[in-house]
Amino acid sequence: MATVSNVNHQDNNPNTNTVAAAAPPVSSAKQTLPTAKTVDTQLQSELMALMMSGDAGISAFPEEDNIFCWKGTITGSKDTVFEGTEYKLSLAFPSDYPFKPPKVKFETGCFHPNVDVYGNICLDILQDKWSSAYDVRTILLSIQSLLGEYRKMVEKLYKPTA
């Protein structure tokens, strides 16, 4: 029966049955955070993609000279209680974006069950369901969609009883 040893040498004695096992490699590589330049490049790319998308009712642009702070606009979709209403948003991107979500808030009042009185938005993709695959366009479309779901929520809550 062979025994395993944590020694990193081989026993050249033919009369022993010791098998040397190498210690497992230790990885010193950690996931590196993106640099300000990479985040800047990422956000510039997302801005261009958003501008080229042609999506109705959403827009966003960096604030003055700070690529990490954006102002956005969402217009309520057709056939919703928010139809035609324009909402202003602020988007603040962290230094480790896109690995962490931006902080997004309504700057104009929005009466919705997923928006508190301070404009904070309760939306899973801005919290625990965030993915680095999401971009500004995805965020804005998701918020616009969330506004459209308001009618469905109200109809479920106040379903007429017969």
Strands 18-20 and 3-5: parallel
Residue by residue, what is the 3-state secondary structure of 115-160?
ECCCCEECCHHHCCCCCCCCCHHHHHHHHHHHHHCHHHHHHHHCCC
CA distance 68 to 57: 22
Inter-residue long-range contacts of 4-13, CB under 8 Å, 24+ positions, other chains counted? none
**Catalytic (active site) residue 110:** no
Q: Catalytic pick from 122, 124, 151, 152?
A: 122
| Helix, strand, or coil (residue 6) | coil
Q: Hey, what are 52's tokens?
A: 């080229």
**Side-chain half-sphere CA neighbours of 128 within 13 A:** 0
Give catalytic residues, as residue numbers: 122
